[in-house]
């Protein structure tokens, strides 16, 4: 196999929602009650609830694709400073073609990777209506025109289980391939534990419909910086492995014994740590089993993991070299476009460097077959292998400009000292609103004008 022959499916990419996203999916009356995209006097953007005071914004590291790495930080803060493929449906497909990627799973951004930004809205009925509109935008408007290019997902009103089941059934009829779900609902989202009977109706529905749950890092036990003085790169280094704690808890979910089709994807978590987690889980079961009384139905925890979970990686040479210890049937690829970890437009080159020593059959599993099986779709069978490869897609994208461009914006370097590592505390300062005068002064200092 050559690099150009690969078919690439990513199980973790992200969309920066455009300001027009609700226009076609809510009436004028209800559109005025939906989240609004606004910019302040400095040009920084945020979403806020009409008639409610909750606001959020798209953190810059979520949308730095195509920018010089020297400019990575908390900027950009407005879609005008972002590459068009980040927020425009058609331009995004062109960017996928340019990197030879056939299929993507697009996690939400302003809504939270699991939809949790919606959950504490004051007007619950309006919130349910808006969440349904969000799903319709994602399924019909963003994904709909491009057959086989997306795993369609949906957010759920998880604070209300009756509403959750109603919405889950509605979007299941629309053909969604996954539900976005917190890796640990009890940790950060004021919801019951996954071990609580509260979630039983959802487990049953997922089993009946064969729809897996996609759990992104940061929606459970998100890592915190050790201190304000800790380099931000220490936090970035540890972030993927934070999902290991959530994975261990989900592995002990008793519902897995009752529902063979209940599946969880561990999104953006890497794979190199998986063999030790499974080894440790098996040891714990054998050594502590008599007193902890955890029932795995006569199986080892490692067997349960490989039956119910999907893992993924961006760049993980150790994990790929030890794919047998991870499980060749549960490894998939993630691009993470347009976040700071993504390697666009050189995705095929970097992925090939990770998998080139695997047998061809395993390469096919890791690059796309495992993901398509897990999410119950197969565009290769529908569209033909020859139309889905890296080479075929890139041939359509010869016109796409993949050059690095500086588009401006504020960043953590404004708070740093030349020659010293950017710290977690300095990055945190970029969340604090500043006046136009303060921003102007800091930029003048950086340019040596004062």
Q: Are 57 and 45 in contact (CB under 8 A)?
A: yes
Which stretches does DSSP call E strand in 153-304? 153-154, 178-180, 213-216, 264-267
pLDDT (0 to 100) of residue 58: 67
DSSP-assigned states of every residue in 36-47: EEEE-TTS-EEE
Give the whole-number percent of the chain exceeding pLDDT 90.
76
pLDDT (0 to 100) of residue 369: 98
pLDDT (0 to 100) of residue 410: 54
Spell out the domain ranges in the chain: 3-409
pLDDT (0 to 100) of residue 344: 97
pLDDT tens-place values along the chain, 450 residues long: 999 999 999 999 999 999 999 999 999 999 999 999 998 777 788 899 988 988 887 677 889 999 988 878 767 778 888 999 999 999 999 999 999 999 999 999 999 999 999 999 999 999 999 999 999 999 999 999 999 999 999 999 999 999 999 999 999 999 999 999 999 999 876 899 999 999 999 999 999 999 999 999 999 987 788 898 998 899 889 888 889 999 999 999 999 999 999 999 999 999 999 999 999 999 999 999 999 999 999 999 999 999 999 999 999 999 999 999 999 999 999 999 999 999 999 999 999 999 999 999 999 999 999 999 999 999 999 999 999 999 999 999 999 999 999 866 555 556 566 678 888 887 777 665 443 344 344 434 434 443
Domain spanning 3-409: which CATH class is it, in words? Answer: alpha beta
pLDDT (0 to 100) of residue 40: 79
Q: What's 230's DSSP letter? A: S
pLDDT (0 to 100) of residue 395: 98
* pTM above threshold 0.75: yes
Q: How far is CA 57 from CA 91, 111, 243, 391, in A?
A: 22, 10, 24, 37
pLDDT (0 to 100) of residue 408: 60
């Amino acid at each position: 196999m050559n690099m150009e022959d690969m078919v690439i499916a990513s199980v973790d990419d992200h969309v920066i929602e455009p300001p027009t996203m609700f226009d076609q999916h809510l009436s004028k009356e209800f559109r005025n009650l939906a989240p609004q995209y606004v910019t302040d006097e400095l040009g920084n953007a945020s979403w806020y609830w009409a008639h409610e005071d909750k606001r959020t914004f798209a953190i810059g590291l979520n949308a730095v694709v195509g920018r010089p790495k020297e400019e990575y930080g908390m900027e950009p803060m407005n879609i005008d400073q972002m590459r068009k493929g980040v927020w425009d449906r058609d331009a995004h497909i062109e960017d996928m073609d340019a990197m030879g990627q056939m299929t993507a799973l697009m996690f939400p951004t302003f809504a939270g990777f699991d939809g949790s930004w919606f959950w504490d809205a004051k007007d619950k009925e309006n919130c349910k209506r808006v969440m349904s509109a969000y799903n319709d935008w994602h399924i019909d408007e963003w994904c709909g025109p491009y057959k086989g290019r997306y795993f369609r997902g949906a957010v759920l009103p998880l604070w209300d289980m009756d509403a959750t089941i109603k919405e889950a059934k509605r979007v299941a009829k629309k053909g969604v391939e996954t539900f976005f779900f917190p890796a640990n609902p009890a940790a950060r989202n004021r919801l019951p534990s996954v071990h609580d009977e509260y979630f039983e109706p959802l487990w049953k529905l997922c089993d009946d419909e064969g729809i897996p749950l996609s759990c992104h890092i940061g929606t459970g036990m998100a890592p915190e910086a050790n201190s304000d003085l800790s380099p931000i790169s220490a936090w970035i280094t540890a972030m993927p492995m934070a999902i290991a704690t959530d994975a261990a808890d989900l592995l002990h979910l008793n519902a897995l014994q009752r529902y063979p089709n209940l599946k969880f994807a561990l999104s953006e978590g890497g794979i190199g740590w998986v063999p030790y987690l499974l080894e440790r889980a098996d040891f714990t079961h054998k050594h502590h089993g008599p007193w902890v009384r955890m029932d795995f139905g006569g199986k080892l925890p490692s067997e349960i993991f490989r039956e119910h979970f999907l893992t993924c990686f961006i760049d993980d040479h150790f994990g790929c070299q030890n794919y047998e210890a991870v499980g060749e049937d549960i490894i998939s690829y993630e691009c993470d476009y347009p976040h700071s970890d993504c390697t666009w437009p050189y995705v095929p080159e970097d992925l090939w460097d990770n998998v080139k020593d695997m047998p061809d059959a395993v390469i096919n599993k890791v690059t796309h077959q495992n993901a398509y099986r897990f999410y119950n779709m197969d565009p290769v069978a529908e569209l033909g292998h020859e139309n889905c490869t890296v080479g075929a897609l890139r041939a359509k994208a010869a016109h796409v400009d993949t050059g690095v461009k500086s588009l401006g914006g504020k960043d953590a370097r404004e708070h740093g000292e030349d020659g010293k590592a950017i710290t977690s505390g300095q990055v945190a300062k970029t969340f604090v609103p500043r006046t136009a005068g303060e921003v102007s002064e800091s930029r003048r200092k950086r340019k040596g004008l004062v």
